[in-house]
């Protein structure tokens, strides 16, 4: 008979303990341990034996590093250029990709659309959340047909792998990993041990059969991926789907990628007939306004390999309460406090008695330090209630002594600003060395200190 034992798992990080603990030694959270039954069976289910899946399954033996022949595996390209960019150039065979995001943001729609458009690839879409009729209704809305696209509404991994052995798909999409259950674990769906075991079984399947697998995941109320932290370590790529459900634009961001850059960004627009890639996001991130408004500045940033021009909006008002408010959206609050301290110390502006509100238009979250100069100019514009000319943009990092520091890949930023019709761009004077002469049709103005920018505009 199989031996049955129980273990205690942290519901926050997945740490396993033989006895109950009040505080998790891994994530330091209190009262997160829950007892779960673990079925230890020496006999593995035959459905997970992949030797019969493909003829060229690798033999398990110790080999020398010098004996291994390296070759460039051809990537599977989709018609979605944004997804190809975020994945680092396409889907790598045998990769395990985790996609997480808010409920209702469009994860299922995006990957159902991707599977339907891969006409020559046998795709298996496994759903533990929706019925076959619901998925067919969504596919009809997407107006896409594919004879090689198959559905399976099942939550047991034993049944799923038996169907996979019959169909032998070239791509597997699981929606979602939190709804699956493994026969090896005697606990409820969505528990830490179930998520970990199901992900491990799909990882074994992906690596041994060279089949790419997409795992769609949920997030918890803190915004982190639901389940153990081990889930993110096991997969090859982690994608985060961001955006507000009440707006049309969605952002697909890479958090981890073993086959490409982690700084890439994909932007989509949600329409009635699915997700449409936004090929020129700079145009939608800049408001087309006719009258001059104070508190608005345009920043030239870089996200991955792509230059973006985004709009920074600031509002500075007299504080009504004793402690002034600092409210940000899409920007680091501590970075804003640092820039306000620079303006207080180096410029003599009294922001200590002002409420400050800052917003990055379009729902973006920007981490590029080159946005500092545009934030600072937007703050000064609102402080003085004087507008900045709409044909000027900014690219520069601000130091603690008030100097404007150089930023990388300045030529790409200038070229993007020129393409969108800007006439002037303010950059650091320390970027002059790498800047070619008489190459751009846009006027490049170099400055070294914050007070020079203030005198130039105000």
End-to-end Cα separation, the chain, in angstroms: 83
Query: Tell me, what's the pLDDT at 58?
Result: 57
Tokens of 338: 């640092």
- Distance between CA 150 and CA 73 in Å, rounded? 25
Q: What is the pLDDT of residue 47?
A: 46
Q: Residues annotated in the binding site for ATP, as ranges?
A: 101-108
Q: Counting beta carbons within 10 angstroms of the beta carbon of residue 111, is it exposed (0 to 12), middle (13 to 18) or buried (19 or more)?
A: buried
Judging by DSSP bridges, how do beta strands 149-153 and 123-127 pair with one another? parallel
Name the DSSP class of 347. I
- Continuous segment of H or E residues that includes residue 200: helix 192-209
Question: Any idea which fold 284-457 has?
Answer: Ribosomal Protein S5; domain 2 (3.30.230)
pLDDT in tens, the chain (458 residues): 455 677 888 877 778 888 899 999 988 889 888 887 776 554 444 445 555 565 555 566 888 988 888 777 788 899 888 899 899 889 999 999 999 998 888 889 999 999 999 988 999 999 998 999 999 999 998 888 888 999 999 999 999 999 999 999 999 999 989 999 988 887 788 888 888 889 999 999 999 899 999 999 998 887 888 878 888 989 999 999 887 666 678 888 888 999 888 878 888 888 888 888 888 877 777 876 667 789 999 999 988 778 889 999 999 999 887 788 999 998 999 999 999 999 998 888 888 889 999 999 877 788 889 999 999 999 999 999 999 988 899 999 999 999 999 998 888 899 888 888 889 999 999 887 767 666 788 889 999 999 999 999 88
Q: What is the pLDDT of residue 43?
A: 46
CA 308 to chain centre: 16
Please name the residues in contact with 435: beta carbons below 8 A apart, sequence gap of 6 or more: 410, 411, 444
CA distances, 120 to each of 108, 114, 151, 424, 425 (Å)? 21, 12, 16, 48, 47
Domain ranges of the chain: 1-42, 76-279, 284-457
Specify whether the backbone of 261 is left (phi greater than 0), alpha (psi in -120 to 50) or beta: beta
Of 416, 432, 424, 410, the residue nearest 453 (C-alpha): 424
Instruction: Select from 3.30.930.10, 2.170.130.10, 3.60.15.10, 3.40.50.300 the CATH code of 76-279.
Output: 3.40.50.300
Kindly report, residue by residue over 1-16, the tens digit of the pLDDT.
455 677 888 877 778 8
Annotated binding site: 101-108
Peptide linkage before 229 cis (omega within 30 of 0): no
């Amino acid at each position: 008979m199989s031996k049955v034992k129980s273990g205690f798992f942290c519901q926050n990080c997945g740490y396993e303990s033989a006895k109950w603990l009040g505080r998790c030694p891994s994530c330091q959270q209190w009262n997160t341990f829950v007892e779960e039954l673990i079925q230890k069976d020496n006999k593995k289910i035959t459905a997970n034996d992949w030797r019969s899946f493909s003829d060229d399954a690798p033999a398990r033996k110790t080999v020398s590093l010098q004996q291994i022949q390296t070759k460039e595996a051809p990537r599977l390209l989709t018609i979605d250029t944004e997804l190809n960019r975020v994945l680092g150039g396409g889907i790598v065979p045998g990769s395990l990709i985790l996609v997480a995001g808010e409920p209702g943001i469009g994860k299922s729609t995006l990957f159902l659309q991707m599977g339907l458009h891969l006409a020559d690839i046998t795709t298996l879409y496994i759903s533990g959340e929706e019925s076959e009729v619901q998925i067919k209704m969504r596919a009809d809305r997407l107006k896409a047909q594919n004879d090689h696209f198959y559905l399976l509404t099942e939550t047991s991994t034993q049944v799923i792998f038996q169907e996979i052995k019959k169909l032998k798909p070239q791509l597997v999409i699981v929606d979602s990993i939190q709804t699956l259950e493994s026969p090896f674990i005697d606990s409820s769906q969505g528990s830490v041990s179930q998520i970990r075991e199901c992900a491990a079984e799909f990882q074994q399947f992906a690596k041994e059969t060279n089949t790419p697998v997409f795992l769609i995941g949920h997030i918890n109320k803190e915004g982190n991926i639901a389940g153990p932290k081990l889930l993110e370590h096991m997969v090859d790529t982690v994608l985060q789907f961001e955006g507000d459900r009440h707006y049309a634009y969605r952002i697909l961001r890479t958090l981890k990628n073993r086959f490409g850059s982690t700084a890439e960004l994909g932007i989509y627009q949600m329409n009635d007939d699915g997700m449409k890639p936004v090929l020129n996001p700079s145009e939608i991130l800049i408001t087309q306004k006719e009258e001059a408004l104070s508190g608005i500045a345009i920043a030239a940033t870089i996200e991955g390999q792509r230059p973006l021009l985004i709009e920074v909006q600031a509002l500075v008002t007299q504080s009504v309460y004793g402690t002034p408010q600092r409210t940000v959206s899409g920007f680091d609050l501590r970075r804003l406090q640092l820039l306000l301290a620079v303006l207080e110390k180096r410029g003599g502006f009294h922001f200590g008695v002002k409420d400050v509100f800052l917003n990055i238009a379009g729902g973006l979250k920007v981490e590029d330090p080159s946005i500092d100069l545009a934030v600072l100019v937007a703050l000064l514009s609102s402080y003085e209630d004087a507008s900045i000319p709409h044909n000027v943009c900014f690219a520069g990092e601000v130091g603690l002594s008030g100097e404007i520091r150089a930023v990388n890949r300045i030529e790409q930023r200038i070229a993007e600003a020129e393409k969108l019709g800007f006439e002037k761009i303010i950059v650091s004077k320390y970027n002059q060395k790498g800047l070619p002469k008489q190459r751009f049709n846009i006027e490049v103005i170099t400055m070294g200190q914050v007070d020079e920018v203030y005198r130039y505009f105000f």
